[in-house]
Every structure is written in C-alpha cells, then in structure tokens.
Amino acid sequence: MKKAFLLVVTTVLSILPACSQNNPEMDYTTQITITVNGTTFDAVLADSETGRAFAELLPLTITMNELNGNEKYHYLDGSLPTDSYQPGTIEAGDILLYSSSCVVLFYETFSSGYSYTRIGKLTSVDGLKTALGMGNVSVTFAKKQTTGISEVNAHAKANKILRNGQVFIERNGETYNMEGKRL
C-alpha cells in the first residue's frame, strides 16, 4: 500500500510542473506584433489563460510608462488571470503581468525578485531599446493573424470591453461575445 501511495504521489508531482504556465518549456502559439514609433516587432503569446485573455484585448494601443531604465509598463482597466512566479532573471523582450493588471514590456535583461505572470515574449529584441526610447511611449499590440469575430472587428468600428474577467465586443450599440453571438 505504501509503494502504491508513493507511486501516485511521485506521478502527480512529476505532472504538476507541466500544468503551470510558468514552465520554462511553455508553448507559445498566438503570434502578435508590437508596434512602437513606426517599428514593428514580432512576438508570441503564452498558451495560457493569461496569454489567451490578453489576446482577446487585441488590438490594443496603450501609453506605456518608463520605469528603471529597463521596462515600460501600463495598468489595464481590468484584470487578467494570474499564475505568478519569480522568474529570477528577466529577459529583454519578456512581456509579463505584474499583479493582475499591469502589463510590462522589458527591454533589458536583469535579475529580479519580483513575481510576474508570463504573457508572452518578443521573438527578437533587435532595435527594441532604441524604438522604446527613454520616456513614455505609445505601443500597439495586435494579432498577426486573425480569424472569426476578431477579423470582422478589424474592419468595423468596435470596442472591446472587459466585464467580470470576460471580453465582449460592443459595435453599433450591440454587445457580442467573442464567438460573435449577440447578447
């Protein structure tokens, strides 16, 4: 009986790290672009609740504030799902969530004791620091390839809203869920 119990515990403990979105081998599936001062960078979002929730907000243009000479940040109006961890080393190009509503884009690599939730990462940081500059900057996050309701919204005037952790589309006075169903 003890051997069976230890086998179950060992199996569960070996599976748990793969369930966390903080796994270093995390999948990145959604391709996005980040545009800063006319320069566009390719990035990927984590295949996680946080990455998917962030993707639902796109396209998104925000003013990101300078902090510490290594990052730009912006507080969203609503919260995103979190699974925070201490990365130890922040990499240039990391897109992380501080707390539940602060999107942070890092342009320097450094050690940190702060906890974050991974949103995604740039595929290349060449020219990122120069494009971001020293002060506050307007940054646009957009899906690289869109389908379904997102594709329709790219051609129509629509607003994405976050209510109770869910994203909805408001267009022409009507509200739709992300599957395109009118509410």
Residues 62 and 94 in one domain: yes
Residue 31 belongs to some domain of the structure: yes
- SS3 annotation, the chain: CHHHHHHHHHHHHHHHHHHCCCCCCCCEEEEEEEEECCEEEEEEEECCHHHHHHHHCCCEEEEEEEECCCEEEEECCCCCCCCCECCEEECCCEEEEECCCEEEEECCCEEECCCEEEEEEECCCCCHHHHHCCCCEEEEEEECCCCHHHHHHHHCCCEEEEECCEEEEEECCEEECCCCCEC
Domain count, the chain: 2
Q: Are residues 175 and 136 in the same domain?
A: no
Q: What CATH number is associated with residue 45?
A: 2.40.100.20
Residues 128 and 152 placed together within one structural domain of the fold: no
pLDDT tens string, the chain, 183 residues long: the values are 545 434 433 433 333 333 333 444 456 778 999 999 999 999 999 999 999 999 999 999 999 999 999 999 999 999 999 999 999 999 999 999 999 999 999 999 999 999 999 999 999 999 999 999 999 999 999 998 544 454 444 445 566 666 655 666 666 666 766 556 666
